Amino acid sequence: MYVSMMRWTLASVALWALVSNAALAGPQVPPAASAAPSPAPSASAAPASTSDSVTPAATAPAATSIATPKVSLPVDGAFSLPGGIWNCETLANSTATSVYKVSDARTMVERTTLHLPHRPPVELDTTFTYSPALGRWSLSMQHGAYTATAPQWSQPTWTFEGYEADADPRGRVRLVYTSLGPDAYRSDYQALNKGTWQTFSGATCKREVP
């Protein structure tokens, strides 16, 4: 169990590094995608002018234009993660770097390199998949070693709840991202212990744009 928890801790540090930044700053409004554009206004004809001495002639009905519905992505802070490199400092006083890339319309992949004192770097991979039908994200860390789901990131915090797959019995874990602005995040890895969520790892990250 200790080894399993250690793997989760390292993975959590990396993933939280991915979405956790600037832990020491106060929480702010999360990064949001641009709001859906307003529908095109309908054109309406100006009222016809009349004269006191002339009976107005019948006029054709005013032409109107039909607004075309516009489809936009949900307001979701997750879409702000790709771009640049996230430099992170963990609660264990180690450092990590994370890069997020969109592999297709519904999938985002995160590669984290954890730099440990007196040890070779550790690389961690996390795949985020969005389901438009469910309006939810799923997370798979280290090829399914840890799995969790979360709603869209539309609040100051973004919480993935799931399980550590290789634990016996399976332990409940969660990853909580806290937005600290468009280029800073905090991440906390937590485990359920006797009915209480306890943080055992985490990181704060800031984006560096080349």
Note the pLDDT tens digit of each residue in 41-96. 333 344 444 444 444 455 544 544 444 344 344 568 898 999 999 999 998 889 99
CA–centroid distance for 169 within its chain: 29
- Going by C-alpha positions, the residue among 146, 172, 171, 196 that lies closest to residue 16 is 146
CA–CA dist 175, 167 (Å, integer): 17
State which H helix or E strand residue 8 sits in.
helix 2-19
Identify the structural domains of the chain with CATH numbers, from first to last: 2-31+82-208 (2.40.128.20)
List, for residues 115-174, the tens digit of each pLDDT value: 988 899 999 999 999 999 999 999 999 878 889 999 999 999 999 999 987 766 678 999
Cβ atoms of residues 154 and 75 within 8 Å? yes
Whether the model clears a pTM of 0.85, i.e. scores above it, the answer is no
Angstrom distance (rounded) from CA 30 to CA 184: 10
Q: Would you call 2 helix, strand, or coil by DSSP?
A: helix
pLDDT for res 168 = 60
Q: What is the C-alpha to C-alpha distance for residues 127 and 209, in angstroms, rounded to an integer?
A: 22
- pLDDT at residue 199 is higher than 90: yes
Q: Which tokens hold the place of 177?
A: 């991202």
Residue 87: what are its φ and ψ, rounded to 5°? Answer: -100, 125
Q: How many CA atoms lie within 13 A of 168 on its CB side?
A: 0
Q: What CA–CA distance (Å, rounded) separates 129 from 77?
A: 14
